[in-house]
């Protein structure tokens, strides 16, 4: 049975369970809450949601060379990173204040970002489901830079009622996928805004490029928008550090404008290098290869 907002009974039960867990987690101090939620995702949610099976399947495709013990470690480590990220999103100012205090931005593309801000040039931030995507938004916003993002509303409408305010509190503006969101996104970009766009998920309408030397349908939108609006385009990824709580936000070198396929292949190659260095921080649960 659907509610007035379109949510089903299953949606409401799942949302209620999530909120109950989050209320319990908030009783813990930040430094204990984040790893606690990582444990919940690694040992409870991951097995129930079928994430471990999906991770094994993707690793069998992309990294058949990995020893069995490493694969099993990643079936726990990948959901753990996801759980930590969710807890950070819902930590509000506790999370963003830590990012601001650390000022974790680094990398060869940082001077180009500073120049783009000074000249009011639009920027396309090519990002992925790696580390904690929202740590990247928080780090850029902390410097007063105009970072916006395109997001996909969750299918669970009950969940959206608290999820969208939580991610909006980290940095704005946010643009939902769809006609209305697209119009606002393009106005923002034309006005010199910085737009974070993901490129690491399967899109059946996209051309086939390579990722981990496998055919992977990859959107060309980041490259095409950069060319159309003369925007700076570069990859930015937040890398979780060994303490499990802090980040370094790596700003990659800007891409030259050229053939969109070649530009996106360069981004795929760069992301693959990063993932190989931090295998537990990419979201191996997605169906990247179909």
Mean pLDDT of the chain: 94
Is residue 85 domain-resident? Answer: yes
Residue 154: per-residue pLDDT: 79
Name the pLDDT band for 4 (thresholds 50, 70, 90): low
Query: What single-letter DSSP state applies at residue 64?
Result: T
Is residue 287 domain-resident? Answer: no
Q: What is the mean pLDDT of residues 120-126?
A: 98
Is residue 1 domain-resident? Answer: no
Is residue 190 domain-resident? Answer: yes
Give CA separation, 174 vs 16, 54, 262, in Å. Answer: 25, 29, 28
d(CA 239, CA 1): 42
Is residue 85 classed as helix, strand or coil in its secondary structure?
helix
Count up the domains in the chain and report the number: 1
Residue 181: per-residue pLDDT: 86
Is residue 18 domain-resident? Answer: yes
**For residue 229, pLDDT beyond 60:** yes
Is residue 144 domain-resident? Answer: yes
The residue among 116 and 19 whose pLDDT is bigger is: 116
Is residue 20 domain-resident? Answer: yes
Residue 8: per-residue pLDDT: 78
CB contact at 8 A, 148 and 188 = yes
Write out the residue range of the structural domain in which residue 25 sits.
9-281
Is residue 4 domain-resident? Answer: no
């Amino acid at each position: 049975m659907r509610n007035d907002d379109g949510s089903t009974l299953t949606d409401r039960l799942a949302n209620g369970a999530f909120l109950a867990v989050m209320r319990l987690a908030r009783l813990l101090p930040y430094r204990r809450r984040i790893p606690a939620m990582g444990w919940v995702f690694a040992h409870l949610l991951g097995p129930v949601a079928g994430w471990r099976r999906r991770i094994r399947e993707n690793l069998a495709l992309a990294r058949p060379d990995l020893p069995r013990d490493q694969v099993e470690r990643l079936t726990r480590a990948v959901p753990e990173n996801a759980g930590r990220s969710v807890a950070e999103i819902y930590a509000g100012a506790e999370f963003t204040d830590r990012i601001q205090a650390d000022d974790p931005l680094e990398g060869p593309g940082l001077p180009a970002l500073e120049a783009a801000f000074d000249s009011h040039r639009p920027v396309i931030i090519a990002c992925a489901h790696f580390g904690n995507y929202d740590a990247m938004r928080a780090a850029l916003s902390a410097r007063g830079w105009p970072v916006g993002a395109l997001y996909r509303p969750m299918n669970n409408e009950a969940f959206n009622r608290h999820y969208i305010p939580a991610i909006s509190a980290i940095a704005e503006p946010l643009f939902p996928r769809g006609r209305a969101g697209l119009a606002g996104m393009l106005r923002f970009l034309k006005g010199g805004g910085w737009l974070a766009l993901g490129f690491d998920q399967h899109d059946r309408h996209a051309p086939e490029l390579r990722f981990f030397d496998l055919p992977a349908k990859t959107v060309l939108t980041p490259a095409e928008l950069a060319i159309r609006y003369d925007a700076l385009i570069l990859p930015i990824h937040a890398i979780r550090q060994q303490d499990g709580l802090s980040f370094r936000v790596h700003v990659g070198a800007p891409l030259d404008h050229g053939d969109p396929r070649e530009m996106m292949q360069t981004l795929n190659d760069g992301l693959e290098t990063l993932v190989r260095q931090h295998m537990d921080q990419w979201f191996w649960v997605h169906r990247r290869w179909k």
